[in-house]
Amino acid sequence: MPNLPILLRVLDIFRIGPGPSSSHTVGPMRATRRFRERCIGLGLVPSRVEVELLGSLAATGRGHGTDRAVLAGLLGWEPETVDPDAFAGLMERLDRVPAIPWGAGYVAIRTTDVIWRRGGKRDLPHPNTLVVRAYGDRGVLLEETWCSIGGGFVRREGGENDAAPAPLSPPIAPFHDGDSLVEIGKQFGSIGAAILANEAAWERHPGEVAAGLDAVVAAFERCIARGLRSRGVLPGGLGVRRRAPELLESLEAGRVPDFWRHIALAQAYAYAVNEENAAGGLVVTAPTNGASGIFPAVLIEAMRRLGVDRAAMHRALATGAGIAMVVKTYASLSGAEVGCQGEVGTATAMAAAALTELLGGSPDAVETAAEIGLEHNLGLTCDPIRGLVQAPCIERNAMGVAKAWSAAMLALNAGGKGIVSLDKVVRVMKRTGDDMMREYKETSEGGLAVAFPEC
């Protein structure tokens, strides 16, 4: 692995936005918003704008609301601040009033200008690719190709990505992979402390990062609370019922044995978050929307059970983010690229690492917990039924909670480091994803997605 330091930020990993998918909803919204900004910056007022969805975006985008997301971006909406109710009703609004302000003029944004290009064009820069075109009287004024590369991150072909700007100064706690993350963690007392030292050196205003982390935890707690009190059937036609309130009721009624209670409560939190995500509510990428329930479920239950302070909470967040940074740098967080091992596998590793940090584990123990969490999700496919982030996704997050808890326990109590390192598992995960057939990478063309009609 190269020795260039990883320059990702904690708040690159934890991003607030609407469900149900970071790669199919949040990322496309960011891409078309950036396209709009470039058009306006160039003084272009097109007569119409067309968005062509390719690859996995075309294959499963209807179930993820990708058309609604790209149109929201063209309106200038941001994932972090979008109103979920307005977002849900956007298509009907545009059908009534398609003209929207655009720089010095107005542009008609129509729902029919989203083109679903399934099959055919397979030579794509990324499985999640979209092409945005602005048309004038004489043809195309501006065309851009964007890739949604997982976790809400996007990249413009031939140009920039939308991650936070690279720091102006070198990191004071540099790391370039999992092994060096452990070593720098030993120097600073913990992995979380090392990453927060970088953040403190890079922040533009004192307290900026701490406020951002507080906002992430508040978003976790709001999402859990909403999900625990919301009942009914999730949208999309699959008939999946919200189960988080029922699981909570079983716990409160004493129907869950004591030795299961701490994991069962965290699993109820995971159900709550992922059911909110499936309904289009605001969640936090951790590291993606589809895997957004595992990390907050483990973190919030551990915080409440252990009574940790704000500083420890921030270190746990930074620890989880550090694991995701390594995975993103050397593999992928995208189910369309490496299957669900990149999403739920990474989320499990993040949660296991953060829990180990909260329990006082050494940097070696934190790395071991992350390795166990990722290793035992290797080969996990992404095969959502009907392209909806519901089955098997919601239940899979609850299972990820149990795996994360077990990984932390083993790392702390099973005799130190194993023979496999986090870096080795990340490399294997990347190779496994490369070898995986495209039918099992968020296309809904294999696995459970095609078996469902027979069930």
Q: Is the pLDDT of residue 160 over 50?
A: yes
Q: What is the mean pLDDT of residues 6-11?
A: 96
What pLDDT is stored for residue 417 in this prediction?
80
Angstrom distance (rounded) from CA 167 to CA 164? 9
Q: Is the dihedral of CA 157, 338, 179, 182 positive or negative?
A: positive
Taking only the tens place, the pLDDT of each residue in 392-435 is: 999 999 999 999 999 999 999 987 788 999 999 999 999 999 99
Q: Is the pLDDT of residue 231 over 90?
A: yes
Would you place residue 122 in the very low, low, confident or very high pLDDT band (cuts 50, 70, 90)?
low
What pLDDT is stored for residue 452 in this prediction?
78
Angstrom distance (rounded) from CA 364 to CA 385? 39
Angstrom distance (rounded) from CA 264 to CA 251? 8
Whole-prediction pTM: 0.94
Q: What is the mean pLDDT of residues 3-25?
A: 95
Taking only the tens place, the pLDDT of each residue in 347-374 is: 999 999 999 999 999 999 999 999 999 9
Taking only the tens place, the pLDDT of each residue in 147-158 is: 999 999 999 998
Angstrom distance (rounded) from CA 34 to CA 27? 11
Of 4, 314, 319, whose CA–CA distance to 174 is shortest? Answer: 4
Taking only the tens place, the pLDDT of each residue in 306-354 is: 999 999 999 999 999 999 999 999 999 999 999 999 999 999 999 999 9
Q: Is the pLDDT of residue 454 over 80?
A: no
**Cis-peptide into 174, omega within 30 deg:** no
Q: Which helix (H) or strand (E) holds 88?
A: helix 84-88
Taking only the tens place, the pLDDT of each residue in 219-228 is: 999 999 999 9
What pLDDT is stored for residue 121 in this prediction?
53
Angstrom distance (rounded) from CA 363 to CA 356? 9
Of 122, 130, 123, whose CA–CA distance to 69 is shortest? Answer: 130
Token pair listed for 351: 């949660």
Of 339, 295, 325, whose CA–CA distance to 428 is shortest? Answer: 339
Would you place residue 455 in the very low, low, confident or very high pLDDT band (cuts 50, 70, 90)?
very low
Token pair listed for 245: 């309130």
Of 373, 409, 361, whose CA–CA distance to 186 is shortest? Answer: 361
Locate the domains of the chain by residue range: 22-156, 178-454
Q: Is the pLDDT of residue 42 over 90?
A: yes
What pLDDT is stored for residue 164 in this prediction?
56
Q: Is the pLDDT of residue 453 over 70?
A: no
Per CATH, the homologous superfamily of domain 22-156 is D-3-phosphoglycerate dehydrogenase; domain 3 (3.30.1330.90)
The total of other beta-carbon atoms located within 10 Å of residue 9's CB is 21
Question: Please, which residues have CB within 8 angstroms of residue 178's CB and are 6 or more apart in sequence?
Answer: 323, 326, 367, 370, 371, 421, 422, 423, 426
Taking only the tens place, the pLDDT of each residue in 165-212 is: 667 689 999 999 999 999 999 999 999 999 999 999 999 888 999 999
Q: What is the mean pLDDT of residues 28-46?
A: 97
Of 281, 324, 406, whose CA–CA distance to 14 is shortest? Answer: 324
Q: What percent of the chain has pLDDT over 70?
A: 96
Round the average pLDDT of the chain to a whole number and report it. 95
Site of tokens 């035992």: 376
